[in-house]
């Protein structure tokens, strides 16, 4: 069967490509995009199994999301039970593919029903669906891909074919394996961050997640106003999120008395604290991957300032007196990734409560960032930050600090 051979060739290529993606969110984005492409689907969502729940992890919709601010939907964290009541839940529970002609016209014997909340909220009309389980080699179901409204060549909605189904199922098997692998990479990195956290209780996992997410959104907006090819953007984003999450791991090298000090640091203590940039850079020296070299750049330069008054500058490795060692780097001499994390990190530090400071009111934070444009921060990044501020706020809500006490 020539057709089948062709399908396998395409899948081989896709398998190679997706197996190189390290960041789980970039991976989900790509999996959903490719599955939609070969099934000509107007929309789709991806759900991941987390514990006993199915989590709404990614959504794409060509008809609805032409408007940029819809990115915030990426961060809506909805979940449903893994049971036969919802369409996606049914597929996760039974491992069976569903191929539906019209979700508003389900057979009377089906246990599941269509949840029309999103259609009602957006005046989108969901019709046909192809819903496949993401199953690993060990027969474990890690999630569900839900493809919506396949379009015919005249762009009107049609129904999914047997060939769509075959391809989607084969692709889903590869995708599930890549997802397992990306989850493992993420788990290892999270352990690294945890180690840093154990040393420094005020750096929370939530802070790290927020800085990673703010950073990629600032970059994405900045890049799209600059005619950077989408392929390069995606590649940078994939590396940036993880590297940004690692910005402060160098704090493992700072002594407890300084790290855990509840009040203000003395000048002398502050000078030693500055060493965390150089220490973080050391951890990723001799880079073997783009991720390592970006992580090294960010660790080293996330406290540099656009006007050259930041630290540590051009490092002389003088642990006793790192801040005074030399002048800060300036402007575009500071790597882009470092400039981005500088903004994301300070925004998050000011808007949150820390053991040494209260949270600032939002207006004060925003006017500080505006005032520091061209001084602390790269003005073009400040501009990008404000133009996607809705997305920034959605991230803040998604990764809110856990309630304490
Ligand atoms: P961090 O808490 O993540 O803060 C990151 C950056 O946000 C700071 O870098 C600074 O640029 C900005 N920032 C934080 N709080 C304020 C504030 O109240 N006012 C202003 N204008 N900016 C603020 P910086 O200053 O280089 O500090 C690096 C790290 O050193 C901080 O990371 C924190 O872990 C530690 N640190 C700084 N000052 C103190 C302090 O007085 N007491 C303690 N215990 N730790 C401090
Ligand atoms: C959803 O899109 O969140 C639910 C659709 C369904 O499976 O009923
Ligand atoms: C997007 O923001 O448009 C996609 C998610 C990402 O930035 O990686
Ligand atoms: Fe830092
Ligand atoms: Fe930080």
* Token duo for residue 237: 């984003």
Domain CATH code at residue 260:
1.10.3210.10
Are 57 and 138 in a shared domain?
Answer: yes
Is 284 contained in some domain?
yes
Exposed/middle/buried for residue 131 (C-beta within 10 Å: 0-12, 13-18, 19+): buried
Ligand in nearest proximity to the CA of 323: 1
The domain boundary, picked from 182, 214, 247, lies at: 182
User: Is there a domain that residue 70 lies in?
Assistant: yes
pLDDT at position 72: 47
Cα–Cα nearest to 167, from 1, 2, 20, 4: 4
Is the CB of residue 242 below 6 angstroms from any atom belonging to ligand 2? no
Q: Are residues 209 and 154 in the same domain?
A: no
Residue 251 designated active-site: yes
Is residue 107 domain-shared with residue 214, that is, in the same domain? no
CB 261 less than 6 A from any atom of ligand 1: yes
Say if residue 26 is in the same domain as residue 124: yes
How many structural domains does the chain have?
2
Residue 189 forms part of a structural domain: no
For the CA of 69, the nearest ligand: 3
Domain span holding position 67: 2-182
| Ligand nearest to the CA of residue 145, numbered in listed order | 2
pLDDT confidence of residue 25: 80
Q: Which of 182, 211, 227 is the last residue of a domain?
A: 182
Residue 218 located in a structural domain: yes
Tell whether ligand 2 has an atom less than 6 A from the beta carbon of residue 47.
no
Please give the number of the atom of ligand 1 that sits closest to the Cα of 261: 44
CA of 251 to the centre of ligand 5 (A): 10
Q: Are residues 116 and 211 in the same domain?
A: no
The answer to whether residues 372 and 343 belong to one domain is: yes
| Bigger pLDDT: 140 vs 320 | 140
Mean pLDDT of 322-339: 83
pLDDT band at 104 (very low <50, low <70, confident <90, very high): very high
Q: Per DSSP, what are the bridge partners of residue 144?
A: 47, 133
Residue 345 in contact with residue 369, Cβ under 8 Å? no
Local confidence band at 73 (pLDDT 50, 70, 90 cut-offs): low
For residue 244, tell me if it sits in a domain. Answer: yes
Q: Same structural domain for residues 237 and 172?
A: no
- Do both 237 and 131 map to the same domain? no
* Structural domain includes residue 405: no
Q: What is the pLDDT of residue 324?
A: 52
Query: 213 and 316, same structural domain?
Result: yes
- Co-location of 160 and 204 in the same domain: no
Q: Are residues 80 and 111 in the same domain?
A: yes
- Asked if residue 282 is part of any domain, the answer here is yes
Tell me the pLDDT tens digit for each residue of 210-267: 999 999 999 999 999 998 988 888 889 888 998 999 999 998 889 888 988 888 999 9
Res 68: pLDDT: 47
Sheet of strand 129-135, all strands in order from the earlier edge strand to the far edge: 79-81, 53-61, 41-50, 141-150, 129-135, 98-100
Q: Whole-angstrom Cα distance, residue 105 to residue 127?
A: 9
Percent of the chain's residues with pLDDT above 90 = 57
Is the domain of 295 the same as that of 322?
yes
In a domain, 286, yes or no: yes
Nearest atom of ligand 3 to the alpha carbon of 237 = 8
Q: At what angle do helices 230-245 and 205-224 cross, to 10 degrees?
A: 160
Report the distance separating Cα 205 and Cα 152, nearest Å. Answer: 45
Give yes or no for residue 114 CB within 6 A of ligand 2. yes
Give residue 201's pLDDT: 65
Residue 204's beta-bridge partner residues? none
Question: For residue range 366-394, what is the model confidence (pLDDT) as tens digits?
Answer: 999 999 999 999 999 999 999 999 999 99
Could you say which of 22, 72, 251, 274 is catalytic? Answer: 251
Last residue of a domain, one of 154, 182, 210: 182
Full-model pTM: 0.71
**Ligand 3 neighbourhood includes 32 CB (under 6 angstroms):** no
């Amino acid at each position: 069967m020539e057709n089948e051979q062709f399908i396998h060739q395409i899948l081989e290529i896709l398998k190679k490509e997706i197996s190189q993606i390290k960041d789980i969110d970039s991976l989900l984005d790509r999996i959903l995009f490719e599955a939609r492409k070969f099934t000509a689907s107007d929309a789709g969502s991806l759900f991941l199994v987390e514990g006993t729940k199915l989590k709404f992890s990614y959504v794409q919709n060509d008809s609805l999301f032409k408007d940029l601010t819809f990115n915030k939907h990426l961060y809506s964290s909805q979940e449903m039970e893994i049971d036969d009541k919802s369409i996606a839940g049914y597929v996760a529970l039974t491992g069976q593919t569903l191929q539906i002609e019209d979700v508003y016209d389900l057979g009377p014997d089906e246990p599941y029903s269509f949840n029309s909340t999103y259609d009602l909220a957006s005046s989108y009309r969901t019709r046909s669906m192809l819903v496949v389980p993401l199953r690993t080699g060990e027969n474990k179901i890690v999630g569900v891909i839900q493809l919506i409204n396949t379009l015919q060549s005249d762009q009107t909605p049609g129904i999914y074919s047997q060939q769509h189904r075959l391809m989607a199922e084969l692709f889903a098997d590869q995708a599930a394996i890549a997802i397992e692998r990306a989850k493992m990479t993420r788990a290892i990195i999270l352990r690294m961050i945890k180690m840093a956290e154990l040393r420094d209780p005020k750096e929370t996992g939530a802070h790290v997640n927020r800085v990673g997410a703010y950073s990629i959104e600032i970059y994405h907006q900045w890049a799209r106003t600059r005619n950077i090819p989408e392929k390069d953007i995606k590649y940078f984003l994939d590396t940036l999120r993880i590297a940004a999450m690692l910005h402060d791991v160098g704090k493992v090298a700072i002594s407890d008395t300084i790290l855990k000090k509840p009040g203000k640091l003395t000048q002398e203590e502050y000078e030693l604290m500055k060493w965390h940039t150089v220490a973080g850079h050391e951890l990723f020296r001799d880079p073997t991957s783009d991720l390592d070299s970006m992580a090294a750049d960010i660790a080293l330069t996330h406290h540099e300032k656009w006007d050259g008054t930041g630290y540590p500058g051009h490092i002389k490795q003088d642990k006793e007196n790192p801040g005074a060692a030399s002048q800060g780097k300036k402007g575009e001499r500071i790597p882009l990734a470092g400039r981005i994390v500088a903004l994301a990190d300070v925004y998050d530090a000011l808007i949150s409560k820390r053991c040494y400071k209260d949270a600032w009111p939002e207006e004060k934070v925003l006017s500080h960032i505006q005032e520091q444009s061209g001084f602390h921060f790269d003005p073009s990044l400040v501009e990008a930050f404000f133009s996607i501020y809705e997305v920034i706020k959605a991230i803040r809500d998604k990764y809110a600090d856990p309630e304490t006490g």
